[in-house]
Structure 1
Amino acid sequence: MKKNWHTPFALALVLLFGLSLFYIGTDGFKAYTAETARVNSLIENQPQFPEVTFEDSKGRVYPVSEFDGKYVFITFMYTYCSTVCPILEMNMGQVYSQVPEEYIGEDIVFLSISFDPERDDPVTLAEYTGHFNADGDTWRMARINDQEELDSLLEEFGVVVIPYENGDFAHNSAFYLVDREGTLIDVMDYTEIGEAAERVNTILENDKGE
């Protein structure tokens, strides 16, 4: 009986076509999810921190140039969050504790940025700093009152924030590292505390050695 070679040939074509689509859709097999693709794009494009004005937990108001010449380790959160944000900030505190004291404040500042400025006023932010032993200086918690400025920053850094009717937000979470010139140079998994701390310390040590 003559074998039907059309079937395996057709299957091979379908498989090849599927792999091609997967390759394109996953940015060359590197991105298996939309979030991974977003992170890869951010790391590749390295956006600049846009001009924004902060108001922090101590009521101080200043532009982003306040951090010129320093690395900034950043999270995006809101204090009314009862799900991922407390874990995000707790993990941030663990990274903070693993950075040598000689670098803290001098070469790097930690910054938690609220995307809920209406509720996260300085008093609320000050209370929140106390939950994580943030000192308000080398680890600051701040809001951006101008909505256009806030939206610009969220868009530049690929932070997705979706409001719910009850006042909560759905959002992605990560650690963001900005260099001394205000350029985003890395986006890290907030659950990988040791890796994030090692990454930061390596950058600081190499920077000092240059």
Structure 2
Amino acid sequence: MRQLSNLSLVVVLLAVSSLLTMVLISIAVYEKSHVDSDDQTLPVLRATASGNTMLVHGLDLPAFSLIERNGEKVTNAQFFGKVWVANFIFTRCAGFCPVLSHHMRHLYESLSDNPHADRIRFVSISVDPEFDTPLRLQQYAAKYNADPERWVFLTGQRSAVWLLCRDGFKQTVEEDPGNDKMPIFHTSNFVLVDADGKIRGFYDSLDSKRRGQLKVDLERLVDELNTLPVAADR
């Protein structure tokens, strides 16, 4: 009986020792991850075969050429050296487009005093380009007091815009003819792009927490960019 009791005690002590070891290891791992997290750079995204994304390097935006509200051509090369946020809207949308533009304006205004605001851009792309002429985009942009030097509104050929949205930005856009308010269904995401033209994150602009995270991540990229020389438009 005494041998059995001693054996039970040994088993209990071993179990307690193992548990204590696991706790200490967990604490060490947590502390290391907590300390190192601020030193990690924001990941770059790459599309997978399933259409999802992984936190690895690789998702470059393709070259594009669209028309700004002032009638001038704008290409992706003009954003090299800048950190920028893109979204998709259309001016006759009676769904969530005005909300998206409101949130974009809030982000735009909140970064106006950033010491590196000259290296931040905002890009709204119309998914209804046949209707959204440069003049209509001018009128729409005026509602949001958008400075054309910092916030551009783009239109172009529908096929090119939709291809860019789907294959370039990996976002949804499709016809929704039964929806009078939004005959074109499209993403509510804001897309964060770095100075090298790589996508760094997708953020649901209808989610306040994700909008807050976007601002944090954008400023983080700008801080990283500030350690490099200013790149001329290419």
TM over 0.5: yes
1:48 aligns with 2:63: no
- Distance of 2:70 and 2:195 partners within structure 1: 24
1:125 aligns with 2:143: no
Q: Secondary structure at the match of 2:98?
A: helix
- Distance of 1:138 and 1:175 partners within structure 2: 16
> Which amino acid in 1 is paired with 2:116?
Y
Alignment partner, residue 167 of structure 2: 155
Q: Evaluate the alpha carbon distance shift between residue 43 and residue 87 of structure 1 in structure 2; reply closer, same or farther with a 3 A threshold.
A: farther
Q: Evaluate the alpha carbon distance shift between residue 138 and residue 42 of structure 1 in structure 2; reply closer, same or farther with a 3 A threshold.
A: farther
- Distance of 1:207 and 1:133 partners within structure 2: 27
Q: Which of 183, 192, 207 in structure 2 is aligned with 1:177? A: 192
Q: Secondary structure at the match of 1:141?
A: strand
Q: Which of 218, 223, 230 in structure 2 is aligned with 1:205? A: 223
Q: Which of 98, 111, 120 in structure 1 is aligned with 2:110? A: 98
8 A Cα contact 1:189 1:196, kept in partner: no
- The structural deviation recorded for 1:139 is 0.5
Q: Evaluate the alpha carbon distance shift between residue 42 and residue 129 of structure 1 in structure 2; reply closer, same or farther with a 3 A threshold.
A: farther
**Bigger Cα displacement from structure 2, 45-54 vs 68-77:** 45-54
Q: Which of 173, 176, 188 in structure 1 is aligned with 2:203? A: 188
Cα distance per residue 1:152-208 (max 9 Å; x no partner): 442232211121336711122111011111111111121323322122112212332
- The structural deviation recorded for 1:138 is 0.5
8 A Cα contact 1:43 1:184, kept in partner: no
- Distance of 2:157 and 2:217 partners within structure 1: 31
TM-score by length of structure 1 reads 0.73
- Distance of 2:212 and 2:109 partners within structure 1: 11
Q: Which runs of 5+ in 2 are unaligned?
A: 1-49, 229-234
Q: Evaluate the alpha carbon distance shift between residue 163 and residue 73 of structure 1 in structure 2; reply closer, same or farther with a 3 A threshold.
A: same
Amino-acid identity (%) = 24
Q: Evaluate the alpha carbon distance shift between residue 152 and residue 202 of structure 1 in structure 2; reply closer, same or farther with a 3 A threshold.
A: closer
- Distance of 1:128 and 1:42 partners within structure 2: 36
- The structural deviation recorded for 1:146 is 5.8
- Distance of 1:129 and 1:117 partners within structure 2: 15
Q: Secondary structure at the match of 2:123?
A: strand
- The structural deviation recorded for 1:131 is 1.4
Cα distance per residue 1:26-68 (max 9 Å; x no partner): xxxxxxxxxxx96x51755652111111101111113211112
Q: Secondary structure at the match of 1:154?
A: helix
8 A Cα contact 1:115 1:144, kept in partner: no
Q: Evaluate the alpha carbon distance shift between residue 91 and residue 53 of structure 1 in structure 2; reply closer, same or farther with a 3 A threshold.
A: same
Q: Which of 42, 57, 65 in structure 1 is aligned with 2:69? A: 57
Q: How many residues align?
A: 172
Larger Rg computed on CA atoms: 2
Q: Which runs of 4+ in 1 moved over 4 A?
A: 42-46
TM-score by length of structure 2 reads 0.66
